[in-house]
Each structure stands twice: as C-alpha cells, then as structure tokens.
Amino acid sequence: MESITVHPTMPNNNKDIKLHIAMFPWLAFGHMIPYLELAKLIAGKGHKISFISTPRNIDRLPPLPPKLSALITFVKLPLPQNSNLPEGAEATADLPEDQVPHLKNAYDCLTQPISQFLKSTNPDWLLFDFAPYWVPEIAQTLGIPTAFFSIVIAAAVTFLGPTSPEIPADDRKLPEDYVVPPKWVPFPATVAWRFFEVLRLFKAISGDETNVSVVYRFMETLRGCDLIAVRSCAEFESEWLSLLQVIHGKPVLPVGVLSTTPKADDENETWRSIKDWLDRQSKNTVVYVAFGTEAMPSQEEATEIALGLEKSGLPFFWVLRTKHGEDAVKLPESFEERNERGVVCRSWAPQVKILAHDSVGVFLSHSGWSSVVEALTFGRPLVLLPMSNDQGLNARYFEEKKVGYELPRDEQNGSFTGQAVAESLRMVIEKEEGRVYRDKAKELKPLFGDRERQNEYVDKFLEYLTTHKGLDVVQHEGTLLHDSNSSNGHALV
C-alpha cells in the first residue's frame, strides 16, 4: 500500500497520481455504508482504500464488486473488551440506544491500533467520522492530512456550532436555546430542534462524567481536521455549505449525495414476493413506511402509525424491524391479519428496489439523510417523522425545501395521532395542497439520480486530495470549494 512519491521534476499531472486513502467511520451502519459508497467511487478511479472497522462489522458489509476488490482493503481492528457491552456488540444496531455510550467508550480505546496502522502504512489521507475526535492529533504527529467526512447534511453540522475564533462562541446551555436557529446563521432558516427532540437528546448534547458529549466530539473533529467533506451537493444546500466553511475557517468540499441504484442481479425470493405484491397495486398509490436501522418507533408511536395507515385507506408496505436488545412493538389486535391492503415486514427489505417501483406514491420516513437520498433518487415525496439525532434538523430543512411534509406533533412531548398520520399521507399522495411536495420530488429526481454529476463531485474531491497530498493543507477561508457556476450554487468570496 505504498503511495507514489511525486518528484519536483515530474510533470504535474494529478490524474496519473494514485492515492492511498484510509477511512475510519463510526460504528453505525448508517455511517459505514456511505463511507463504503464513497470508497467504491474513489477505488473505481484507481485509488487504494483502507477501510477500517471492527471484524464483525466488516463481515456484515455488502460484498464488493469484483473489479474493486483488489483496490479496497478491509482492515479489521478488534474492539477492546468492555464489560458493559454484550458479547458480539460492535455496532449501534446491536444495542439499545441507552447502551451506545459504552460502544463509544470502547471505540475510544482504539487509539493505539489506529496509531500503529497509520504509522505502518502511511496513507496519503485519512477520512474519519465525528466520533474519533482524537484522530487528528495522531495523524498530525505522523504528518498525515485528515478530512472529516460528514455523512449528515451541512445544515445539521452547522447547527452544532462554530470553531473559528472570528465567530461568536456557542453559549447555548438550556434546552430552550436549541429550539431556534443559532445566532451564527445569517439568513432566514427554520433549522432547529423541537423542544421534545432536545429533551430526548440533552444528555448526548451535554455529556456526563462517563462520556464526552456528541457536540464535543463534533467540535474537536471540526477543529482538528484539515478539510471538511460533506455528503451533499451545492445544488441542494449551497448556503449551508458556504456557511459551514465560514464558521470553521477551513475548506469545505461536497462529495455528492452518493445515491445508490438497484442491482439488476440482486434477484431473490424475498424481492420476488415483494415485487409481486407491488405489481398488483396502482401507480403512485402505495405508502412505503420505514425508519432505517437505528430509529425505532415506540409502542405508542407504532400503534398510532397503524391506526393512521388503516384510516388512510391507502395500500402500504411497512418495514417494522426490532433493534437488538429491545422488545418488538405490538400492533393493534388482528391489524396484520385483517389488512389486505397492506404488508407488515418484520425483517430486512430491499429499500432501494421498493422505492424504485412505480407503485410507491409516498415514503413515511424518519428523515435520515440516506433514506431521503434514496427517495429523491426516484422522485418519491416524503412524510417526515423524525425520531432522534440529526433527523429533526433534517426534517426542518427538507420541509423548507418542500421535499417532505413533517407530520404534526405535540411540541412538548412529540406525540401524534393516527388521524394526523392518515391526513398527512393522503394530503401528500393525492390532495391538491400536496402537489408542491410531489412536484419538488420530481424536480429533484434528475439531480439526485445524476451519476455523471456525482462522478464530477468525486473528481473534484480527488483533485483536491491529490494537490494537497503530503503538503501543508492550504486554508481557503471564504472560498467554497464547489462549482459556483451551478444552477443554485454560489460561493462566498
């Protein structure tokens, strides 16, 4: 895995330089999968990737295309033992939410193995996630430049706070301080948490004696990295990408939305039975319901969703999984048996293939960025039901952009009714007032599904990494490193 040394006398043709890039995502599949998608795009251009995670997580990742297997090396670092973690728990999907801090503590004990790996392989760049805030110091000691690769949108990262000394510091202390856009946002915005969302997250925001806070991890990561890379594009959130650069005083590069497409060769019995049911439904009528691998509705929420689906009269396909270590939610008596209109799937389902099917008319989603990218790739409008982490911030921005309608909820406790579920779904899927959401999703479909545009973002990203390989990273304060000639994009100069 040796990197190519470029001598001063060699012609400066960056396309001929092949990099060795190490990647170190957080131990959540919602993080590892986007990192792997970017890794595949980069490896497809001939660069070497070292993808670092724990053994069980790597074994659970989807298989690589054969043509990339020689360029992507999976590096297995055993997770240090932690008495608070169940045996075999190596990802957030393996744990109830209240045990995830123990996983972070175990993850923080990987400093020595990471140091040894970086020292022995000397990659040209290290792309890392928000959780290992201690990585930049290790890399800096070894002379390895680092990029924080954010799998969440720039609007959500910007909300968390600035690190530039020229921007007023974050003085938010109370839950009430987080329900309005922060003072460093100079343009009209609605991106903020609801009160009930802050209460659910406040321990993670503030931290305690057993663990540093999520915000601290983000801020130290943003302060220590040489470059900020974001899973986004200038055409979708140009103002926020520009502001992110201003409040941290360092280069920001969008790498594209990393949309996935259905695999033609991925035919199996599970998909065939799902497709058979979808084929029998009318075009643009099905409600697809799914909340990702991490967000699970509570018993009360699941009951109201079920009542809402029943009241809506619409056909539905509901993926209702149970997180490891938690009890499965129960649906109203005989709901699954009496609902000939719908399917409740208690196991994994091929989400991309389902969203690609013409029968799907609306996606009831938790507002996770990966799910929204997949929906917009196929022009599906959304009803948004955020549950945790960045999802509430996402939902505010997606509502602003009119790509999704946020389900009405009680501001204090987050409760909602089955009636609200039914009315929201019917409005977005068939009413005149929901046309704005249907039209916006169709409008964004060419952007999110544009493979050529995605390719250009990766090319620009690699051009920057190659130019600054082994060099001091140049600080481009005030100049956003994306295409300012794009239809919606503009740079701060």
Question: What's the CATH code of the domain at 18?
Answer: 3.40.50.2000
Shared domain for 94 and 233, answered yes or no, is yes
Q: How confident is the model at residue 328 (pLDDT cuts 50, 70, 90)?
A: confident
Can you give the pLDDT at residue 263?
A: 67
Do residues 279 and 218 share a domain?
Answer: no
pLDDT of residue 325: 61
Beta-bridge mates of residue 146:
126
What pLDDT, on the 0 to 100 scale, is given for residue 2? 32
What's the average model confidence in pLDDT over 17-23?
A: 95
DSSP code, position 67: G
pLDDT digits over 286-318, tens only?
999 999 877 788 999 999 999 999 999 999 999
Looking at per-residue confidence, does 374 or 479 come out higher? 374
* Residue 362: alpha-carbon gap to chain centroid: 20
Structure confidence at residue 269 (pLDDT): 84
pLDDT in tens, 47-61: 999 999 999 999 999
CA-angle at 164, arms to 159 and 168, nearest 5°: 70
User: Edge-to-edge strands of the sheet including 404-406?
Assistant: 342-345, 316-319, 286-290, 360-365, 382-384, 404-406
Residue 318 CB coordination number (10 Å): 23
128 vs 136: CA distance, rounded Å = 9
- Give per-residue pLDDT as tens, 74-104: 999 999 989 999 999 999 999 988 899 999 9
CA–CA dist 343, 325 (Å, integer): 24
Same domain, 455 and 430: no
- pLDDT single digits (tens) 338-354: 667 899 998 889 999 99
pLDDT higher than threshold 80 for residue 492: no
* Average pLDDT of the chain, as a whole number: 89
- The pLDDT tens digits of the residues spanning 203-224 come to 888 887 788 999 999 999 999 9
pLDDT for 324: 64
Residue 484 predicted with pLDDT over 70? no
For the residues 467-487, what does the mean pLDDT come to?
51
Same domain membership, residue 283 and residue 181: no
List the domain range (segments joined by +) for residue 378: 269-448
pLDDT, tens digit (0-9, with 9 covering 90-100), for 431-453: 999 999 999 999 999 999 999 99
**Interatomic CA distance for residues 399 and 386, integer angstroms:** 12
Q: Is residue 139 part of a domain?
A: yes
Residue 252 counted as domain residue: yes
Q: Is residue 203 part of a domain?
A: yes
Query: Taking Cα atoms as reference points, which of 468, 374, 364 lies closest to residue 125?
Result: 468
- Asked whether residue 298 falls in the same domain as residue 314, the answer is yes
The tens digit of pLDDT for each residue in 127-144 reads 999 999 999 999 999 999
DSSP per-residue string spanning 400-428: HTTSEEEPP--TTT----HHHHHHHHHHH
Domain assignment present for 424: yes
What are the pLDDT digits (tens) for 222-236?
999 999 999 999 999
Q: How far is CA 15 from the centre of its chain?
A: 29
In a domain, 454, yes or no: yes
